[in-house]
Structure 1
């Protein structure tokens, strides 16, 4: 029917090929990691596992992108940073309030020490 494919169709096909390849690579890596981890030191197994995890994560992200889904926001991180900011703000406000109170007390003490008390005298003239 249509001899020529439009650019979007070609891009989608290329993306699908890359996605399929990434999933196959992730599966192969996982299989090899399972066999090798029994024979190799745990450090080598950890490296292979991290590569496999990265491949699976990237393949899942590519599948989500092809499906038109946007990546989710890291709400836990956002909430953690918000709580940290609130705690730091509270600490700064408490410190500032304590400093203001100390300054006011020092000024009162200074005024009390330097105050001149004038006592009126009554002469019987």
Structure 2
């Protein structure tokens, strides 16, 4: 029981370190980007702002995921992706079934034509005796 508690505590400590690191990285990147923007003008300011936004968004996303993990909340399921994959699978299954059905029908038609071409017509003969 103590080993499990220690492992849980270690996991929580690691998650906290990752969370702290993500926030620190976002702050450092924002500071560097702002400094470069001040030296090189408006064009770089726009680029730096975009970079800061993307880094900050990533940091916030990771920090939220870490906080949720520390709180014991599981990530939500991507229902839209699951539904999309299900629909794609259904469409592919329908296409495969239609193709197989058409192939079987063609094979049956070919066999019927072959039987008609090779059929021997036997007519009975009647004796009047």
Shorter-chain TM-score above 0.5: yes
Distance 1:118 1:4 in 2: 87
Contact 1:19-1:59 at 8 Å conserved across structures: yes
Are residues 67 and 104 of structure 1, via their aligned partners in 2, closer, same or farther at CA, if it must alter by over 3 Å?
A: same
Instruction: Mark the runs of 5 or more structure 1 residues left unpaired by the alignment.
Output: none
* Larger fraction in helix: 2
Aligned structure 1 segments of 4 or more residues deviating by more than 6 angstroms: 1-11, 30-37
Q: Is the 8 A contact 1:37 1:44 kept in 2?
A: no
Say which of 66, 70, 74 aligns to 2:70: 66
Quote the offset at 1:53 in angstroms.
2.1
TM-score (norm 2): 0.67
Does structure 1 retain, via aligned residues, the 8 Å contact 2:37–2:45? no
Which runs of 5 or more residues in structure 2 are unaligned? none
User: 2:84 & 2:110 partners in 1: Cα distance?
Assistant: 39
Q: Which stretch of the first structure deviates more once superposed, 9-18 or 27-36?
A: 27-36
22 and 110 in structure 1: CA distance in 2 versus 1, 3 angstrom threshold? same
Query: Root-mean-square deviation (CA), in Å?
Result: 5.3
Task: Give the 3 Å change call, closer, same or farther, for CA 73–84 of structure 1 in structure 2.
Answer: same
- Structure 1 residue 83 displacement after superposition: 0.7
* Structure 2 CA distance for partners of 1:35 and 1:53, relative to 1, 3 Å: farther
Per mean C-alpha deviation after superposition, the further-off stretch among 58-67 and 20-29 is: 20-29
What TM-score comes out, normalization by structure 1 length?
0.69
Contact 2:38 2:45 in 1 (8 A): no
SS in 1 for 2:4: coil
Range moving further from structure 2, 1-10 or 33-42: 1-10
Deviation of 1:19 after TM superposition, in Å, equals 3.2
Report the Cα offset of residue 3 of structure 1: 21
